[in-house]
Amino acid sequence: MGASCSDRNCSAPRNPCTHSLQGHAIDQFQRSLSFIQAGAGDINEMFLVAQECGNGADPLQWSTSWEALAERTFNDGKARIDDNPSGAATALLRSCNYSRTSAFFIRGYPEHDEQKKKAYSRSDDAFRLAAPLFHPPLAEVKIPIRDGSSPDMLAYIGKATRPPPGFQHSPLFIGGSGYDGDIAETFMCNRRLVEDFGFNLLIFDGPGQGIGAVTKNTALRHDWEVVLGSVIDFAANEFDLKHGLVVYAWSLGGHLTARACLHEARPDVFVLDPINPSLKRAANTKMPAAFLEDMLSDSPGSTTYGTILRWLVEKKAYQSLASRAQVHGIDVTDSSWLPTYIKEIQKFHCEDEEFEKLQVPLILCAAENDAVVGDMSKPAALIPYINKSAVGDQCVVIPFTEKEGAGNHCEGGNRVLVWERVMDDLLPLLLARISQHGD
């Protein structure tokens, strides 16, 4: 990527632009840029380091360049903590974003696992140092899983200084991570909720997410209602849930919480960004039928297995799939990792028809060209079943388009627009639900 772009239609010819980046790198660069609105990046700083990355074809080059920036901003932040705490907080949060970007391109490469662990650990350290410096501050807590089968979850809570307009008290907003993010990124997505909109905040990394997945090999769970239920159990001891409870799920969380919302009735509203009721269906429909049948058999054939591995490499999808297998606690250096992963994915599923049992209203974010879960047809397929539920008339689908800069996965190109639109529907709906709780 050069210092200028040769495209005559580029609106910023004297500045670096992304025309020379490959598609995958563009998506990740946009995702990193989207967190500028949360104070987690500087646009010139980010464009300058992107110049060093070439066109994104070399993942290690991308990772190394962002790692250097992440380390520099981390050290700058640590040096300011005593004398300039606000400056320390901004530098440390930028380091979290840059560390995540550094780690993304080496996911699924076992030979770079130590570098990936270093990036996640730096983000974890940076966020732990920054949390008490935010306004309002965040306090680190640990949340036990109710069945004791997984380690305690890392979480942070923050208490708003004022409620939203029209509310007597601040409602609680619970936010979780996606496939490859961490708790710092969850904060970046939702920072405005506590600082601008007056919500109390509880963010957490469940099993298979964040620092635990990378450094302790915790495995993702399909029974997310146990995970979310444990978080709400904890929240009930810290906050008065009668003042309102919103659960927000983004990226992979849109699948995990799609299942959980069918089992957990304590929240007043679920916001799913996006919704993906079946990870199983999403994965299976992208695979050749013969390969899928082979992988699900008791003894996968080496011929079919070798063919699909070569196909994945040719499509540059091998590392993406391997990184997802790692989140499920699967060792991708084992020759049988792929059939193990395909069989594990079959557990992550709920039928569209199950949404007739919905007890809590949904706000569904639907990006026009979400490369991960598909287009707006995903929520459209569920609407007939949601409409049959007891809360069907309270559910909302909010479309986001490419023209608005928000048509990509989780509207990563325009996160500011997300909260403007979601709040248009969420605030009146939440007030109505709170009024039903009584005193």
Tens of pLDDT, residues 88-110: 999 999 999 999 999 988 888 88
pLDDT for 318: 77
Fold of domain 136-277+350-435: Rossmann fold (3.40.50)
CB 216 within 8 A of CB 121: no
pLDDT for 7: 36
pLDDT tens profile 272-284? 998 888 889 888 8
Quick check: 357 pLDDT over 80? Answer: yes
Percentage of residues in the chain having pLDDT higher than 90: 59
Side-chain-side CA neighbours of residue 312 (13 Å): 18
Q: What is the pairing mode between strands 138-143 and 153-158?
A: antiparallel
312-315-321 Cα angle (round to 5): 45
Question: Of 378 and 239, which is predicted with more confidence?
Answer: 239
Among 190-194, 235-239, 404-408, the minimum mean pLDDT is found in: 404-408
Residue ranges of the chain that CATH labels 3.40.50.1820: 136-277+350-435
Three-state DSSP string of the chain: CCCCCCCCCCCCCCCCCCCCCCHHHHHHHHHHHHHHHHCCCCHHHHHHHHHCCCCCCCHHHHHHHHHHHHHHHHHHHHHHCCCCHHHHHHHHHHHHHHHHHHHHCCCCCHHHHHHHHHHHHHHHHHHHHHHHHCCCCEEEEEECCCCCCCCCEEEEEECCCCCCCCCCCCCEEEEECCCCCCHHHHHHHHHHHHHCCCCEEEEEECCCCHHHHHHCCCCCCCCHHHHHHHHHHHHHHHCCHHHCEEEEEECCHHHHHHHHCCCCCCCCEEEEECCCCEHHHHHHCCCCHHHHHHHCCCCCCHHHHHHHHHHHHHCCCHHHHHHHHHHCCCCCCCCCHHHHHHHHHCCCECCHHHHHHCCCCEEEEEECCECCCECCHHHHHHHHHHHCCCCHHHCEEEEECHHHCCCCHHHCCCHHHHHHHHHHHHHHHHHHHHHCCCC
Quick check: 12 pLDDT over 60? Answer: no
Cα 300 to Cα 314: distance, rounded to the nearest angstrom: 21
pLDDT for 13: 31
Cα 132 to Cα 135: distance, rounded to the nearest angstrom: 8
Residue 68: band (very low, low, confident or very high) from pLDDT cuts 50, 70, 90: very high
Q: What is the pLDDT of the chain when averaged over all its residues?
A: 87
Question: Of 311 and 64, which is predicted with more confidence?
Answer: 64
CB 346 within 8 A of CB 127: no
Residue 53: band (very low, low, confident or very high) from pLDDT cuts 50, 70, 90: confident
pLDDT tens profile 381-419? 889 999 999 999 999 999 999 899 888 888 888 888 999
Q: Which three-class secondary structure state does DSSP give residue 278?
A: strand
CB 108 within 8 A of CB 337: no
pLDDT for 378: 67
Residue ranges of the chain that CATH labels 1.20.1440: 23-129
Report pTM: 0.90
Most confident range, picked from 51-60, 200-209, 412-421: 200-209
Q: What architecture is domain 23-129? A: Up-down Bundle (1.20)
Number of neighbouring beta carbons within 10 Å of residue 72:
16
Cα 198 to Cα 210: distance, rounded to the nearest angstrom: 26
Cα 74 to Cα 63: distance, rounded to the nearest angstrom: 16
Cα 194 to Cα 137: distance, rounded to the nearest angstrom: 10
pLDDT tens profile 303-350? 677 777 777 776 667 777 888 888 899 998 888 888 899 999 999 999
